[in-house]
Amino acid sequence: MNKKRKKTIIWLSVSGIILVIIFFSALIIGRYTISIPSFFSALFNMPSADSIDKSVIFSLRLPRTLVALLVGIALSLSGLVYQETFQNKLVSPDFLGVSTGAGFGAAIAIIVGLTGLMISVAAFVFGIITMLLTVGIAKIFRNNSPTILLLSGIIISGLMSAGISFVEFTADTDKQLGEIVYWLLGTFSKATMRDVWILMPIVTVCSLFLFIIRWRINIVALGRNEAVSLGLNYNLYRNLIILAATLLTAASVAYSGIVGWIGLVAPHMARICVGRDARKTIPLTILFGAAFAIICDIISRTFTASEIPLSAVTGFLGTPIFIVILFLRRKTIYDKI
């Protein structure tokens, strides 16, 4: 076994163990304290288990922790493949305007009186529509350059941001406005097991697909000319990657609101550890993203009387981490931005 393979296995093993520890810690830690013996009693449904502990663990903390895990996987993986596909290390999952479009859909759903699952459905649908609009505008220019798609994403994202502002302006300030703002700031507080069962297949299928074509992602990351010279159908695989990443992003925003930094920080951490190879970075990014999202959820619901918005927590954690990443990779990370 060569050194690089051994290094990758060590990173994956250590990261997997840490993720498991963080996951179970999230079921214990919170404003309502659960001791470790009580946790295991509730977990294994022992006769001595307290009913309140069981309710807190299985009805409240387990669903939101699972949703946090799935959202972390989705955002980090979509960020990674977007960055590789468009050869831009500063690209995040919302660069095609998907997050903003999903937020616009959720805002409309709230203002027309929809609740619960229907808000998530509206957010998901608008996220997909936004991606289609972005791709459609890029097609108008008849230019296959990734830069055109990036610029189209900026245009559509700006349009959707304006739409959100207009909806907020027309919303009822006593009820609807507060709900819209709270949703846009990101939260796992409303997560239920129904959300888990809806989100899980989307994240699982898209993640497995991207993992299966991981070596093709490496070729796409070389650029159009190199990919074509190697016999790869560049347009087909680029579009499939964009579609999978968009589904991951739209599904995440639909159930958590707009959450930043996860899709930007986790891929860079993975590259620092195992290099720029999708065969290695995809599984490690998934582990890093999931752990980061769960840690942010723990912080958001533990240290204050009311929940801190997720976007605030991810910003406070993500900013110093990203500064460290830029410092560590300052000689190589600026080759192609």
pLDDT tens digit sequence for 116-158: 788 889 999 999 999 888 888 888 876 666 778 878 888 898 8
DSSP 35: -
Dist CA 143 CA 138 (whole Å): 7
Among 289, 283, 221, 278, CA closest to 249: 289
> Can you read off the two tokens belonging to residue 274?
């195992």
Phi-psi region of 2 (alpha: psi -120 to 50; beta: other; left: phi over 0): beta
pLDDT tens track for 280-326: 999 999 999 999 999 999 999 888 878 888 988 999 998 898 888 87
Whether 162 contacts 207, CB under 8 Å: no
Q: Which residues of the chain have pLDDT under 70?
A: 1, 48, 142-145, 330-337
pLDDT for residue 336: 45
pLDDT for residue 331: 65
Q: What is the pTM of this model?
A: 0.91
Contacts of 286 (CB under 8 A, 6+ apart): 73, 76, 77, 207
